Each structure stands twice: as structure tokens, then as C-alpha cells.
């Protein structure tokens, strides 16, 4: 069977795609691939200077790339709302929302809203962004929301509702895992709520990708990185599961894509499954309610929400 590559991405002309964290790594490669297929790509980045450098890098390979820069700091709900207001003035409809940006295993920090940095950025920021832009996605036939999770979701024993912000005892790997598990719980609950709509929600993970995301790994792990680097793949390969979830005509809402190699560490994208906790409907609904309360963002009433 033929492996899935960017050559299989259908023409994206006339479509608008928003990619968070598009200035580096997986997001940069995702944006480049979509631009190469004709999409108008909004590079949603925290640092506009780095965003400009990313846009220049893309246009060196894709000379006619149709790009737009948008400042977005997912660690600030005020920034999310400001970015949404600006996006809404420019775009009546959105075809693809790629929730890619994230942070991985930093020392304990909080967002400007007081949330643990990984949970606040990786999950709550994207939850708010999606909810505030959803009415721009719903009218677009074939629109998709793709949220990037990680194999690391398996590090989380669950969602620590009793200490959601890790104020009592901080474990950076488990906190990262919680944020990535939250990405999946959010995707599956969102898809259930989208039943009957033109829009679908999917998830993807890049396997082990050699990107800047790992710069905050604990020292002992950092020292081992050179030894395990052969297990990692380049960002262009790591972006393929996201791109397949976003563009494959055969991809369905609620699906999860990852690499096809040993342990899903590397390889070409295929349909994969997440851990048992991620499919817990009650856990999905509880996290949804808490996320609405923490962000102050309520999604439009959707038919599937009553299911």
C-alpha cells in the first residue's frame, strides 16, 4: 500500500487555514505544505519577528505562497480574544484550524491568567481559540479542526481536577501528559458536538520529532537526547499526521493519526488509537465544563451536545 505523503494533499486553492505555532518545527512545515497546495495560510505566532522569518523561509520554497501573519499568545486569554477579533474582521469563513502550538516540560510557570503553563497553553488557549472561531468554521463545507496531541498523553494518569494547575506537586512530564490528554478529550467531545455539522474535529501526533519543543526536557533527559536522536524524525515527517488529518478526503471526524513505525515514533501517517482514558465520555464532558468555566468561552449550541 502506498505511503501517505504531501503529494497526496488535494488542491487547497480558495481555502483559508490557520496554523498556530507556525514559526518553527511542526507548525512551520504544516504551513509550508498547505501553502504549497494553494491555501491562504494564517501564521498564528507569538513573536511577529520570528513569524516574519518563517514567512520568508516558506516563500523561498513556495514563491507564490499566500501568507498572513497574526500575533497570538495562547498563554493569554486576552491575546486569544484580540487575535480572534482581528481574524474575524478579515475572514468570513475558515476552512482549517490547526491547533499545533505548544510547550513541553518547562519548569513550573503560569500563564498570564494563572494557569499552569502547559495546560493553559496547550489546552485552554486552543479551547478558547476554537470556541471563539467556531462560527467561522461551521459555514465552510468540509472544514476541519485538527489538534496536535502527543504520545506523551500516556504519561498522564488522568486529569487532576483536584489540583488542575499543579500547585501542590509539580511533575513536568505528567503535567505535559495531562495537557496532551486534554487535547484528545477535547477533540473527541468536540466531534460529538459537531455531529450533523459541516465541520469535523480530528487529532494527530508527530511521534518523536526533532524540534525545538524538547528544549525544556529535564537535564538528565537532555543528556540522553544525542543517544536517542536516531529514533526521532525530521519536522517535515512529523507534520505528516497533522496534514493527513487536515486534508485527506477519507479522514473522518474523531479520528487520530500518527506515524506507522515501531511504537509510533516515526514513519508515515496512519490511523492510530489513543489510550483508554481519552475515550472516557464522562471525563471528556467534565473537562469541557471546567474548560468553559476557566476560559469564559462558551461554544455555540450544537446538536451533538445533547447526545
Half-sphere exposure of 19 (CA within 13 A, CB side): 31
Question: Which of these is catalytic: 170, 176, 256, 257?
Answer: 176
**Chain-centre distance for alpha carbon 134:** 15
* Integer Cα distance of 143 and 81 in angstroms: 21
How far is Cα of residue 232 from the mean position of the Cα atoms in its chain? 19
CB 297 within 8 A of CB 131: yes
C-alpha cell at 58: 516558506
Which helix (H) or strand (E) covers residue 146, if one does?
strand 144-148
CB 153 within 8 A of CB 177: yes
Alpha carbons 250 and 258: distance in angstroms, whole number: 15
Alpha-carbon span 130 to 294, nearest angstrom? 15
Residue 257 appears among annotated catalytic residues: no
Dihedral sign for Cα atoms in the order 113, 118, 123, 125: positive
CA dist 296 → 56, 113, 129, 275 (Å): 36, 12, 11, 29
Strand order of the β-sheet with 256-259 is 66-71, 40-45, 16-20, 96-99, 144-148, 200-204, 256-259, 269-272
Please list the active-site residues. 176
Amino acid at each position: 500500500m502506498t505511503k501517505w505523503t504531501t503529494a497526496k494533499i488535494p488542491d487547497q486553492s480558495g481555502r483559508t487555514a490557520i496554523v498556530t505555532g507556525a514559526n518553527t518545527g511542526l507548525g512551520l512545515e504544516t504551513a509550508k505544505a498547505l501553502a504549497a497546495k494553494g491555501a491562504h495560510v494564517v501564521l498564528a505566532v507569538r513573536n511577529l519577528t520570528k513569524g516574519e522569518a518563517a514567512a520568508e523561509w516558506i516563500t523561498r520554497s513556495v514563491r507564490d505562497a499566500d501568507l498572513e501573519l497574526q500575533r497570538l499568545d495562547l498563554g493569554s486569554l486576552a491575546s486569544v480574544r484580540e487575535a480572534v477579533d482581528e481574524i474575524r474582521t478579515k475572514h468570513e469563513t475558515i476552512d482549517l484550524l490547526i491547533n499545533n502550538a505548544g510547550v513541553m516540560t518547562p519548569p513550573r510557570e503560569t500563564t498570564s491568567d494563572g494557569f499552569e503553563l502547559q495546560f493553559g497553553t496547550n489546552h485552554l488557549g486552543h479551547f478558547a481559540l476554537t470556541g471563539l472561531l467556531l462560527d467561522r468554521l461551521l459555514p465552510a463545507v468540509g472544514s476541519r479542526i485538527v489538534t496536535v496531541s502527543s504520545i506523551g498523553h500516556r504519561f498522564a494518569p488522568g486529569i487532576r481536577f483536584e489540583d488542575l494547575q499543579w500547585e501542590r506537586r509539580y511533575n513536568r512530564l505528567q503535567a505535559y501528559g495531562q495537557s496532551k490528554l486534554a487535547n484528545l478529550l477535547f477533540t473527541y467531545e468536540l466531534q460529538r458536538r459537531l455531529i450533523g455539522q459541516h465541520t469535523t474535529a480530528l487529532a494527530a501526533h508527530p511521534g518523536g520529532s526533532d524540534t525545538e519543543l524538547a528544549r525544556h526536557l529535564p537535564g538528565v533527559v537532555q543528556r540522553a537526547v544525542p543517544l536517542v536522536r536516531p529514533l526521532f524524525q525530521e519536522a517535515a515527517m512529523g507534520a505528516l499526521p497533522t496534514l493527513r488529518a487536515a486534508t485527506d478526503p477519507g479522514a473522518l471526524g474523531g479520528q487520530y493519526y500518527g506515524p506507522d513505525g515501531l511504537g509510533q515514533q516515526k514513519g508515515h501517517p496512519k490511523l492510530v488509537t489513543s489510550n483508554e482514558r481519552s475515550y472516557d465520555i464522562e471525563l471528556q464532558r467534565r473537562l469541557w465544563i471546567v474548560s468553559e468555566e476557566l476560559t469564559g468561552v462558551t461554544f455555540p449550541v450544537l446538536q451533538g451536545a445533547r447526545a
